[in-house]
């Protein structure tokens, strides 16, 4: 026998917990990934050219600053250091230079001297292709 | 008077207020979306790297490949040089390269150490725009 007059209300409650879990997971993922990709890029003023290739991931990003310093993964190197770094990566790829892609991000206010030096050194290591980082003209 | 910070419904169930949580989540989302818009997009210029070969190793061709030199002229100004012609602007260089007859053998950009890198990059970009089969960067020995 029902004594109470109060009706049982069935509220359509949405369970927000999985949604918030996923949103936070995505936020943390993108924050981490963006930090990792940015650590390889030293802030340099790239030449303003209309490059034809979209940015592709590279094995090694060599940054050359206005002061003509070589920076790889936020660490400064001299030319000898750059050569040994690249040699180690080539050795890790079992000597297959075709698997080693290199991007040179050179400050446009720099002279071509560091580029010439590093190009000649890379050529001696058997690397024949590089990509130069540029910034789109409109920006 | 409310004694507990936790909301409890009349039937005794614990209710979590999701409003503040969603506020924070959307705030974070909007922040990241806004900052992502300011990231400058980068592009890339592909180039082969070559060192100068001795003349004995070079094979003679009917049509000479395009050789763009970035160097200092007699008056001390940096110019783009093709053959004996000096050009001061990238637009002028692009115009000359577009009319170049032999594009199958690619283009060579020879750069002196003291040349500004902006000019070297402009020369490579001009060669790519002129649709040469390949572009090679050659450090110019003094």
Quote the DSSP letter at residue B140.
P
Residues 6+ apart with CB under 8 A from A7: none
Q: Across residues B31-49, what is the average pLDDT?
A: 77
**C-beta neighbour count of B31 within 10 angstroms:** 11
Burial of B80 (0-12, 13-18, 19+ CB in 10 A): buried
For A24, which residue in chain B has the nearest alpha carbon?
B25
Range scoring the smallest mean pLDDT among A33-37, A121-125, B134-138: A33-37
Query: Per the structure block, which two tokens stand in for A37?
Result: 């990709």
Range scoring the smallest mean pLDDT among A62-66, A83-87, B44-48, B71-75: B44-48
8 Å CB contact between B90 and B47: no
pLDDT-based confidence at A29, cuts 50/70/90? Answer: confident
Measure Cα distances from A97 to A57, A93, A122 in Å.
Answer: 16, 8, 10
Q: Which residue has the tokens 């039937």?
A: B11
Q: Residue B56 above 50 pLDDT?
A: no
d(CA B65, CA B62): 10
Residues 6+ apart with CB under 8 A from A43: none
Query: Per the structure block, which two tokens stand in for B69?
Result: 């030199």
The fraction of chain B above a pLDDT of 70, given in percent, is: 77
Do the chains contact at B50 and A27, CB–CB below 8 Å? no
Range scoring the smallest mean pLDDT among A47-51, B15-19, B64-68, B103-107: B15-19
Q: Across residues B93-107, what is the average pLDDT?
A: 87
Quote the DSSP letter at residue B105.
T
User: What pLDDT was estimated at residue B138?
Assistant: 92
Q: Across residues B35-42, what is the average pLDDT?
A: 69
Which chain A residues are closer than 8 Å to B18 by Cβ?
16, 20
Mutate to test the interface with A, among B43, B91, B94, B137 (most CBs of A within 10 A): B43
User: Which of A31, A53, A122 is closest, CB to CB, to B49?
Assistant: A122
Instruction: Report pLDDT digits (tens) over A39-98.
Output: 677 788 888 888 776 667 778 899 999 999 999 988 999 999 999 999 999 998 888 888
What does pTM read for this prediction? 0.72
User: What pLDDT was estimated at residue A118?
Assistant: 93
8 Å CB contact between B92 and B122: no
User: What pLDDT was estimated at residue A39?
Assistant: 66
A86 touches chain B (CB under 8 A): no
Q: At what angle do helices B19-37 and A17-39 cross, to 10 degrees?
A: 30
């Amino acid at each position: 026998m029902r004594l109470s007059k109060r009706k049982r209300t069935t509220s359509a409650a949405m369970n927000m917990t999985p949604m918030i879990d996923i949103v936070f997971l995505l936020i943390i993922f993108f924050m981490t990934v963006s930090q990792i990709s940015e650590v390889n890029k030293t802030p340099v003023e790239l030449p303003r050219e209309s490059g034809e290739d979209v940015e592709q991931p590279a094995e090694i990003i060599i940054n050359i600053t206005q002061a003509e310093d070589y920076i790889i993964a936020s660490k400064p190197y001299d030319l000898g250091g750059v050569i040994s770094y690249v040699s180690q990566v080539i050795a890790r790829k079992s000597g297959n230079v075709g698997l080693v892609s290199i991007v040179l991000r050179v400050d446009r206010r720099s002279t071509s001297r560091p580029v010439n030096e590093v190009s000649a050194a890379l050529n001696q290591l058997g690397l024949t292709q590089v990509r130069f980082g540029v910034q789109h003209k409109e920006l | 008077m409310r004694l507990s910070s936790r909301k409890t419904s009349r039937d005794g169930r614990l209710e979590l207020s999701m409003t503040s949580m969603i506020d924070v989540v959307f705030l974070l989302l909007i922040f990241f979306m806004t900052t992502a818009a300011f990231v400058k997009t980068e592009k890339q210029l592909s180039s082969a790297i070559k060192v100068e070969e001795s003349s004995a190793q070079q094979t003679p061709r009917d049509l000479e490949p395009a050789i763009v030199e970035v160097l200092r002229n007699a008056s001390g100004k940096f110019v783009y040089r093709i053959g004996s012609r000096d050009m001061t602007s990238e637009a002028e260089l692009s115009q000359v390269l577009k009319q170049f007859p032999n594009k199958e053998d690619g283009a060579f950009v020879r750069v002196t150490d003291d040349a500004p890198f902006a000019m070297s990059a402009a020369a490579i970009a001009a060669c790519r725009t002129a649709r040469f089969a390949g572009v090679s960067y050659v450090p110019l020995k003094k």
